[in-house]
Amino acid sequence: MKIVRTAAELRTEGSTGLVPTMGGFHEGHLSLFRSARAENRTVVASLFVNPAQFAPGEDLDRYPRDEKRDATLAEEAGVDVLFAPAAEEIYPDGFQTWVDVEEVGSILEGEYRPGHFRGVATVCLKLFNLVRPARAYFGQKDAQQVAVIKRMVRDLAVPVEIRVCPTIRDEDGLALSSRNAYLSPAERRTAPLLYQVLCDSAAALGQDPEAVAATLDRGIAQLSAGGFAVDYLELRDATDLTPMARLAGPARLLAAARIGRTRLIDNVPVLLA
């Protein structure tokens, strides 16, 4: 595996799969690498903690960083090129062009983290332009990020196929995330409640598609009683994330909640019984 730090060093052959990451690799990232490996001649993983997607006061400075470990894991999973640029390579002096996916990027996470998806969309478009992949790989855990990237690709006619891979979870259901490292032992024991409430709420809605408000209120109460500070628990259309007052088609339940200093997000599909 080759590690490169500048756009000038990027060289790929044949069909290329790109996995954009911020490092802190876990089995979720490795599953994306393996999917890309199975479908492409060349696999590029980016390793860039993107400052533009962190708001003031968020965890930019303490976000997990261990390039040596990440490089070893990436190589073992079949990555050919690890693109690990400095911030100046992505945002050179005088940078002033941003991608703002207005509607889908302003709700849910966009409401609680203003500017987050502007940073995500901009860095992803830049990576697409630098790497020129045939396919780019994202995890379903970040469902809203997927929706933002898909909308950007469609609106701007970016010639890349967006591949969405299943959420990888621990045995107790907690979705894998680099930020799970922030959890204390007690918080880690409580954290799976988020997924449990999502699953229970999805099952309830499948049985009673009219009871959206009551089901969401019950889920929020369960999370609050379990020690979470809930930002949102909402039912949204599976494609464009518009609100759903009743379950009337493919949908997702999306949640964000804090336990201690750690903010967790997750989502599950909701289907009519």
Active site residues per annotation: 29
Distance of CA 113 to the CA centre of its chain: 14
Rounded CA-CA distance 65/119 in Å is: 19
Radius of gyration, CA atoms only, the chain = 19
DSSP string, 36-62: HHHH-SEEEEEE---GGG--TTSSTTT
How far is the C-alpha of 162 from the C-alpha of 185, rounded, in Å?
36
From the list 117, 103, 101, 136, the residue with the least C-alpha distance to 236 is 103
The C-alpha atoms of residue 58 and residue 54 are separated, in whole angstroms, by: 6
Residue 12 in contact with residue 1, Cβ under 8 Å?
no
Task: Report the DSSP beta bridge partners of residue 46.
Answer: 20, 83
DSSP assignment, residue 258? Answer: E
What is the largest distance, in Å, between two alpha-carbon atoms of the chain? 56
